């Protein structure tokens, strides 16, 4: 006897493309003859039984929208043995036989705990940070990078007019992928990421002075939020060390919003589909991932222990061409 009722929730930080993933889960589930419940506000919705029965039309007109129609939350109440037990009991009460969790690492820890408490869970990586070790891609990452790129392009106009230096902080938590790729795309002279050691004297002040001596008049420096280098202070130090007027900009939450790019919509659709198929096949405690552009899956517990790869070759290319 196949699985009759599944549920889907979005948890942790929101990411553009989460709606496309929810849509895919709902429509794949319904087409497989399952009932699908949408759970509101992440794990909070399981604690409060705040759910809604989804049909084909519940997910109309959302593939192109940012945010998440299911809302998201961080739920400290869930993150305890009692919280997980209550959520599992409520799932049983509501007849939920499988749960799809769209979120990041923290949300997957919750999914692992809930699976251990008897509710089969599958995780789908939805986070702009691209910080899920087992997957080369996370839903929202492409949109966030494109947003960051557009914003820095705008800064470049004013930086150029005034012969200034713009120091821009982008998101990514402990992961430098957004910074590295955005930095390359905007022609940043330096990119600071948590994965690579840096020396401000060598990598920024001296490089700026050198490029200035050969005619460069304006500068963009991209800093990952996890690089441990507050941009306001860095801008002051650059100005003090080089004499070049410098301004700091923190792009912040603008990177989380907006209509998802084509790539995010397509990958979200593939991953949502794959997640439902896993539950249908009776698999659980899995996380959907992308490897060599293919959609695959891993055991959540193992996935959470994998070390993250950083594209050091791409970083070297950035260094070479940013002079
Ligand atoms: P993300 O999923 O984006 O990494 P968080 O780390 O904030 O975001 O996690 C989202 C939610 O997942 C938390 O609010 C909590 O309810 C749950 N969670 C996080 N860590 C754990 C954990 N170690 N065990 C159980 N649940 C967790």
Calculate mean pLDDT across residues 102-106. 98
112: helix, strand or coil: helix
Interatomic CA distance for residues 233 and 175, integer angstroms: 21
The answer for residues whose C-beta is within 8 angstroms of residue 28's C-beta and 6 or more apart is 272, 273, 276, 277
Cα→Cα distances 175→111, 141, 181, 195, 294, Å: 22, 11, 12, 7, 22
Q: What is the pLDDT of residue 323?
A: 84
Q: What is the pLDDT of residues 132-142, one digit of tens each?
A: 999 999 999 99
Residue 162's pLDDT band, with cuts at 50, 70 and 90, is confident
* 47 CA to centre of ligand 1 in angstroms: 14
pLDDT at 10 exceeding the cut of 70: yes
**Distance between CA atoms of 149 and 192, rounded to whole angstroms?**
16
Burial class for 234, CB neighbours closer than 10 Å (0-12, 13-18, 19+): buried
User: Which residue(s) pair with 123 in the sheet?
Assistant: 101, 287
Q: Which residue has the tokens 């590295």?
A: 180
The set of catalytic residues is: 129
Q: Which domains does the chain have, with CATH numbers?
A: 5-140+260-305 (3.40.50.450), 144-256 (3.40.50.460)
Q: Are 25 and 54 in contact (CB under 8 A)?
A: no
**What CA–CA distance (Å, rounded) separates 267 from 258?**
17
Q: Which amino acid residue places its CA nearest to atom 19 of ligand 1?
A: 106
Encode pLDDT of 184-243 as tens digits.
999 999 999 999 999 999 999 999 999 999 999 999 999 999 999 999 999 999 999 999
105 CB less than 6 Å from ligand 1? yes
Summarize the confidence of residues 174-187 as an average pLDDT: 98
Ligand 1 center to residue 261 CA distance, Å? Answer: 26
Closest Cα to atom 23, ligand 1: which residue?
Answer: 109
Distance separating alpha carbons of residues 131 and 141, to the nearest angstrom: 10
Kindly report the protein residue whose alpha carbon is nearest to atom 14 of ligand 1: 74
What is the whole-number distance in angstroms between the Cα of residue 109 and the centre of ligand 1? Answer: 6
Helices 177-185 and 141-161, axial angle in degrees (round to 10): 50
Q: Are 37 and 94 in contact (CB under 8 A)?
A: yes
The predicted pLDDT at position 120 comes to 98
Question: Both tokens of residue 47?
Answer: 């604690």
Note the pLDDT of residue 274. 98
Quick one: average pLDDT of 107-125?
A: 98
Verdict on whether the full-model pTM lies above 0.85: yes
Q: Answer positive or negative: Cα dihedral of 200, 202, 203, 206.
A: positive
Q: Is the CB of 181 under 6 A from ligand 1?
A: no
> Strands 51-54, 35-39: parallel, antiparallel or unpaired by DSSP?
antiparallel
Q: How many angstroms separate the alpha carbon of residue 143 from the centre of ligand 1?
A: 23
pLDDT of residue 1: 58
| Mean pLDDT of the 293-314 span | 97
Looking at the chain, how many residues does it have? 323
Widest CA span in the chain: 74
CB of 68 within 6 A of ligand 1: the answer is: no
């Amino acid at each position: 006897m196949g699985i009759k009722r599944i549920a889907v929730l979005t948890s942790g930080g929101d990411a553009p493309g989460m709606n496309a993933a929810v849509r895919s889960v709902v429509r794949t589930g319904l087409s497989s003859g399952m009932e699908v419940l949408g759970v509101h506000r992440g794990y909070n919705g399981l604690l409060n039984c705040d759910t809604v029965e989804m049909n084909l039309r519940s997910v109309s007109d959302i593939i192109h929208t940012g945010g998440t129609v299911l809302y998201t939350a961080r739920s400290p109440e869930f993150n305890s043995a009692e919280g997980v037990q209550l959520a599992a009991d409520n799932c049983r009460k509501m007849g939920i036989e499988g749960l799809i969790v769209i979120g990041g690492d923290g949300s997957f820890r919750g999914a692992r705990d809930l699976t251990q408490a008897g509710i089969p869970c599958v995780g789908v990586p939805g986070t702009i940070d691209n910080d899920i070790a087992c997957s080369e891609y996370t839903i929202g990452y492409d949109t966030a990078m494109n947003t960051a790129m557009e914003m820095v392009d705008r800064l470049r106009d004013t930086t150029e007019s005034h012969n200034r230096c713009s120091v821009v902080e982008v998101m990514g938590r402990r992961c430098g992928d957004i910074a590295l790729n955005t930095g390359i795309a905007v022609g940043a002279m330096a990119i600071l990421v948590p994965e690579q050691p840096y020396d401000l004297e060598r990598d920024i002040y001296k490089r700026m002075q050198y490029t200035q001596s050969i005619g460069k008049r304006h500068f963009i420096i991209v800093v990952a939020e996890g690089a441990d280098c507050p941009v306001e202070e860095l801008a002051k130090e650059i100005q003090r060390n080089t004499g070049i007027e410098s301004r700091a900009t923190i792009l912040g939450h603008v990177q989380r919003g907006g209509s998802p790019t084509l790539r995010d919509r397509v990958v979200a659709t593939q991953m949502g589909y794959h997640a439902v198929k896993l539950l249908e096949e009776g698999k659980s405690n899995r996380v959907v991932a992308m490897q060599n552009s293919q959609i695959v899956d891993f055991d959540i517990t193992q996935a959470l222990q994998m070390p993250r790869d950083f594209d050091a070759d791409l970083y070297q290319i950035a260094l070479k061409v940013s002079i």
